Amino acid sequence: MKIQVLGPLSAEVNGGSIVPTAGKPRQILALLALYPGRVIPVPTLMEEIWGTELPQSALTTLQTYILQLRRRLGTAMGPGAPGGAKEVLATRHGGYLLQIPPESVDVHEYEGLVSQGQSAFERGDDESAAGLLRQALALWQGPALVDVRVGPILEIEVMRLEESRLVLVERRIDVDLRLGRHTELLAELTELIARHPQHEGLHSQAMVALYRSGRQATALDVYRRLRTRLIEDLGVEPSPQLQRLHQAMLTVDPALDITAGPRRTSTFDLYAA
């Protein structure tokens, strides 16, 4: 079985899709896929499907959805498959689980690459870190579970994954800046700060990329526009490290050069206290 949740939900067995068209069985499959080998309790599955307003027939209906998933799974596996669908989508005391290896699900491959990339970043191996982080990001085919109607449980999981993705993009840009790829990053960073207009980390990266590309005035304008937005929308000034980065650009601080400054840190923390 091969399951993808980093984008539209996809689950294939022997080349055939087992993803149901109905919304609630899709939710169940998605939630079970996020935790392969782990029992998901019946109350958790019910909360995901119905929230706090459970119908009287909730347990019976949930069992029907599980049966539907097993039928699709059994059809894809074929009559000669050892164990059968009941062994793959198994019932355990108080819940259900997908008995499949974690590496069958793309999110677990993603998290492994993230961990390796982070380790390479922390030991200063920028080339390896850049490659691993790019591999991790390449697994994304769109917003997580973009075609699944999410309930309260999956909503939290999707938020967690999307935040992880944004942090990873920021980390990958940190590495590219350390490798001197500032000019190549300008278009990507312009789009990112437009999509995340209050994200100080991405704005700090855009400022540094512009500064190192010989566009000091534009870098300072990025700061000015962010400061105006933060004051008008939230009533706050930019963080101290961003203010110090701005001051460093005004004074042409040598620490802004590619080869200067501390290693194993983020662009945002170049001027941390």
Q: Where are the alpha helices (DSSP H) in 196-264?
A: 200-212, 216-234, 240-250
Could you say which residues of the chain have pLDDT below 50?
Answer: none
Tokens describing residue 76: 């894809």
Distance CA 64, CA 49 (A): 13
Please say whether the dihedral angle defined by the alpha carbons of residues 132, 137, 141 and 144, taken in this order, is positive or negative: positive
* 161 closest CA partner among 148, 176, 175, 178: 148
- Tokens representing residue 50 in the block: 């119905």
pLDDT recorded at residue 262: 55
Cα-to-chain-centroid distance, residue 163: 5
Angstrom distances, CA of residue 273 to CA of 104, 122, 260, 267, 268 = 44, 20, 17, 13, 11
**What was the pLDDT predicted at 266?**
84
Rounded-to-integer distance, Cα 167 and Cα 161, Å: 10
Distances in Å between the Cα of 206 and the Cα atoms of 34, 89, 231, 246, 247 are 34, 47, 20, 12, 15
SS3 content of the chain, % helix, strand, coil (to 5): 60, 5, 30
